[in-house]
Amino acid sequence: MQDKGIVYLVGAGPGDVDLITVKGLELIKKADVIVYDYLSNKRLLDHVKKGARIIYVGKKGGDHTLPQDDINRLIVDRAAMGYIVVRLKGGDPFVFGRGGEEAEEIVNAGLMCEVVPGVTSAAAVPAYAGIPLTHRDYTSSVSFITGHERFEKDKSSIDWEHFGRIRGTLVFLMGIKNLEHIASMLMQHGRSNDTPVALIRWGTTPRQQTLVSTLENVAYDAKQQGFKPPAIFIVGDVVNLRNHLSWFENRPLFWEKYCCYPCKRTGKRALENT
């Protein structure tokens, strides 16, 4: 233990354990304390050193293990005690991960903070579903948007008029619960009812599921198929390329080969990301 610790905000990637960065994995191996999220692949914890403290602070469908303020205090307190703390966050810490807020708290406490970017699900998940976010024949722009906004607010922070007008690809993160509202707002502001869309659940993991629909029908289709979080929502003509480019879900023996893995701690085989 050092006189003064340090916090590393590490992006765990989108779910596929192999998509962690080299630097991120090395920090996991040297950390004294690991504070990890619901969407961080648990297989990464197989690499922690003996004696390291592992703390789960996941948030799932409104069920928060710890409120964000308590998570901030936990990280700061452990680092203030001299520990090397890895805050392991799904995707990238600074892409809708509240990593900016955590970094502010750490710096304000007079502690050292480093950010290790991760592969964001906003880009990786469509790729694993065979959907390129940009394509010369379809669109040259892409927008990442939160789908988790509290829509009861008097004024939305999302410029629906802009996103309804532009023809670029839209990627909504954490938008399943607000899917009907999102689709409605886009159609009200100019997006065609028959715009191709895709929902991708548990992207980049062996549990990946993809639903292709249209802007008008997606909310109904998702409800009929019982589509639940975690999932991202893609809007745009590039979705049509999936029929030709889908690769991950088309692998031979997809479920048997990729859905289970041997746990280093127990030796048993278990579902990934359960």
| Number of Cβ atoms within 10 Å of the Cβ of 233 | 24
Active site residue 59: yes
**Separation of alpha carbons 10 and 32, rounded Å:** 14
Label residues 100-114 b or e (16+ Cβ within 10 Å = b): eebbebbeebebebe
Active site residue 81: no
The residues, any chain, with a CB within 8 Å of residue 153's CB and separated by 6 or more, are none
Distance in angstroms between the alpha carbons of the first and the last residue of the chain: 33
Q: How does DSSP assign 210-238, residue by residue? A: EEEEETTTHHHHHHHTT--SSEEEEESGG
**Separation of alpha carbons 270 and 274, rounded Å:** 8
**Residue type at position 156:** S
Active site residue 37: yes
Asked if 231 and 179 count as a contact pair (C-beta separation under 8 A), the reply is no
Tokens of 174: 């954490």
The one catalytic residue among 42, 59, 177, 237 = 59
The one catalytic residue among 81, 174, 187, 221 = 174
The one catalytic residue among 16, 32, 37, 92 = 37
The set of catalytic residues is: 37, 59, 174
